[in-house]
Amino acid sequence: MSVDVSHAPRSVLVCDRSSFLDEKNRISSQLQQLHFNYKVSLLLPECSSAPSHLDSVLKSFSSFYLIRNMPIYELLDKHFLETAVYQGSVSGLSHRTRIDEENCVALMPNGRLCLSLDKHSFQVLGVEGKPSKFNHKTKNRFVVSVDLTDSSMAPGGRGYVRLLTGLRSRLHLRTDFLLSHHPGGGASLQHLLSRYDWSEHRPEISSRVLTDLSCPALLSSDPQPGDAHSFLEWLGAVDADISCENSSSSFMSSLVCPEPKTMLDKALSVSVCGLLRPQDVHRLVQQLRRHLEQPGPAPWASLTVHGFVDSPVSWGDGEHGVLIGGENFYNLLMFQDHTYHLHLATGSHDPCPQ
């Protein structure tokens, strides 16, 4: 069977090289753009256990809630809006809904509610929206995006009543829903939680000690785009526990460690999974900087953050779609001299990360 690869979907990899000491670096704002983080992966060379300060911040990642079979109109509840949404303290995402087949919902920390709907659901809802960027020849998916903090969406207002009526009386959209809140903000959710079946979850932490690991020589001062792709491919293989000790003719895998390479006697691979807040990731970055400042053999540390594949949004408020791959992640490679390489990746048709 022949395969036509002439129309392979595009992907975007934005590379930024700067220093934490540069006052104009945009690392904080760039990390905040990915609202819905599913997994954080660390790779620490010449390390067999996480230092106490790193272990502490990993274990302090915020908990989150899973609310089962929640009507989406509950996100418009006046009490919830006043105590959580208007305070910028919550974000949420429909759980195990597939963006290419089902209705998906996202509540962003800036108060924007995004509904990615199939054609029938959009018509039944009866509110203003726009065709998805991921429609092909037929318009079979639509996006409704509203700012719940805007005066037009204040409870009792025309826009608010229209959306509430559509969700409560016509569409009847229900889904399992993940909710995250800032530390100390859990009380604002109790009024909502008390009406449904819910559970609280801590992010899951796992770690592996790797030995005799082939590793790219990462000290080149000016990496080229091809180097970044090769490095990320190698990093993904390490995270997935796939060997890169293969020959180019290997049937199982042709993944190899990029040249030039070196050998690590040991390395620590750590992952955290859940609905992870960008603020927690940022605290982890600060502790990784502290880790690199300590005397020791580790010249660098790598952090990779994956967004949810089926999130309706990816970077910023931009629409996200799966289609082929659903890429939605970034990697931060940090060095002892406070410089860093930031790789921002996205898939077919998604907005370019900034």
Those residues whose C-beta lies under 8 Å from the C-beta of residue 41, and which sit 6 or more positions away, are 239, 269, 270, 271, 302, 303, 304, 305, 306
pLDDT along the chain (354 residues), means of 10: 48 87 91 93 93 93 96 96 91 93 94 96 96 79 96 94 96 97 81 95 96 79 64 89 68 72 91 96 95 85 94 88 74 94 82 70
Q: Are 171 and 122 within 8 A, CB to CB?
A: no
* Per-position DSSP letters for 239-283, written without gaps between them: HTT---B--TT-SS---BPPSSEEEEEEEEEEEEEEEE-HHHHHH
Instruction: Output the pTM of the full model.
Output: 0.90
DSSP-derived pairing of the beta strands 37-45 and 174-181: unpaired
Going by the DSSP 8-state scheme, the letter that residue 319 receives in this structure is B
Single-letter residue type at 138: T
Record the tokens describing residue 190, joined without a space: 């109790």
Going by the DSSP 8-state scheme, the letter that residue 315 receives in this structure is B
Helix (H/G/I), strand (E/B), else coil: 292: helix
DSSP-derived pairing of the beta strands 90-94 and 328-335: unpaired
Strand locations in the chain, DSSP E?
Answer: 12-19, 37-45, 64-71, 90-94, 104-107, 112-118, 130-131, 141-147, 174-181, 198-201, 204-216, 261-276, 300-307, 328-335, 339-346
Give the Cα separation of 38 and 227 in Å (integer): 26
